[in-house]
Every structure is written in structure tokens, then in C-alpha cells.
């Protein structure tokens, strides 16, 4: 069986209104620049993530995160893999290594038809990072 790697290029845009318990900058805009490759069983990708605070007093140089992902489909519709997130500071000021957030996730992705569920359990690798983090993303189309 011949496998063909397909390049993946794109952007993701998010506009958020957050509760003060989650962020002092209550309004935020996030841009993700996405690149990678997909084969019939593998997905390998990288994101450059830029996040601007839109709340007065929190605007300025965007927070910068680099993220990497690798998954392998183990059975039809089920993939296992890992993600790594590195919070490096802002474009104007890179944080020292021990102040950077670094999180490694084990992930499971389930796909069925046009919807998918992404589950992850992450462990912080630096003192600046939460010790454990759980995440879930549910995707479904609006038609």
C-alpha cells in the first residue's frame, strides 16, 4: 500500500469573552497558524499561536505559544498521540526558561462521520505550568 503525505496549511481564529476567574483580559483574540502533514494513519502538525488581549489595559504585544502534535490512527476513527505546548512569553519579551509554561499531553481523538471528540490529559513540565490539566474539544458541523 502506497502512502501519500498531504500538506496541511491553515489558520484558526478565535474571539473570546472570558470570566475574570479565567483571565484579567476579559476579551481576547487568538490566531493560530497551522502547518503539518497527514497520511492515511499519521497526523503531524505544528501551530504558532498569537493571543492579543482586547480589554483596555491588556493590549500590546501578543502572548506567544508554540504547539506540536503527533497522532496515529490505531483503529478506524480512533487515534492516539501526544501534544506539546510551549508558552514563550510575548513577541516583545521572551520569558526565561523556568518561567515558560511547558505542558505535555497524552491525547485520544474519536471521529465518527462529521463529528469528533478530542480528549487530553496534560502534565506541566516547569514550575510556571499547572501540574495536571484535562481538556476536551467537541467538533460538529453547523448545517
Contacts of 33 by beta carbon, 8 Å cutoff, 6+ apart: 11, 47, 48, 49, 50
Who wins on pLDDT, 143 or 39? 39
Q: What is the pTM of this model?
A: 0.84
Radius of gyration (Cα) for the chain, nearest Å?
17
Other CB atoms closer than 10 Å to residue 21's CB: what's the count?
Answer: 5
How sure is the predictor about 3, in pLDDT bands with cuts at 50, 70 and 90?
Answer: low
pLDDT of residue 8: 81
Give the model confidence (pLDDT) of 13-42 as tens digits.
Answer: 998 887 877 777 788 899 999 999 999 899
CA geometry: angle at 49 spanning 43 and 54, to 5°?
A: 145
CA distance 72 to 34: 18
pLDDT of residue 142: 79
Give the model confidence (pLDDT) of 67-110 as tens digits.
Answer: 999 999 999 999 999 999 999 999 899 999 889 999 999 999 99
pLDDT of residue 78: 97
Amino acid at each position: 500500500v502506497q502512502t501519500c503525505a498531504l500538506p496541511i496549511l491553515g489558520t484558526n481564529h478565535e474571539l473570546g469573552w472570558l470570566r475574570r476567574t479565567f483571565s484579567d483580559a476579559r476579551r481576547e483574540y487568538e490566531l493560530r497558524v497551522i502547518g503539518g502533514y497527514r497520511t492515511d494513519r499519521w497526523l503531524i502538525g505544528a501551530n504558532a499561536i498569537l493571543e492579543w488581549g482586547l480589554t483596555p489595559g491588556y493590549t500590546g504585544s501578543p502572548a506567544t505559544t508554540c504547539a506540536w502534535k503527533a497522532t496515529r490512527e490505531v483503529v478506524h476513527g480512533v487515534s492516539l498521540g501526544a501534544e506539546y505546548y510551549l508558552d514563550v512569553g510575548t513577541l516583545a519579551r521572551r520569558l526565561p526558561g523556568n518561567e515558560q509554561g511547558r505542558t505535555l499531553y497524552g491525547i485520544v481523538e474519536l471521529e465518527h462521520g462529521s463529528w469528533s471528540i478530542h480528549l487530553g490529559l496534560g502534565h506541566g513540565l516547569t514550575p510556571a505550568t499547572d501540574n495536571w490539566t484535562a481538556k476536551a474539544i467537541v467538533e460538529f458541523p453547523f448545517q
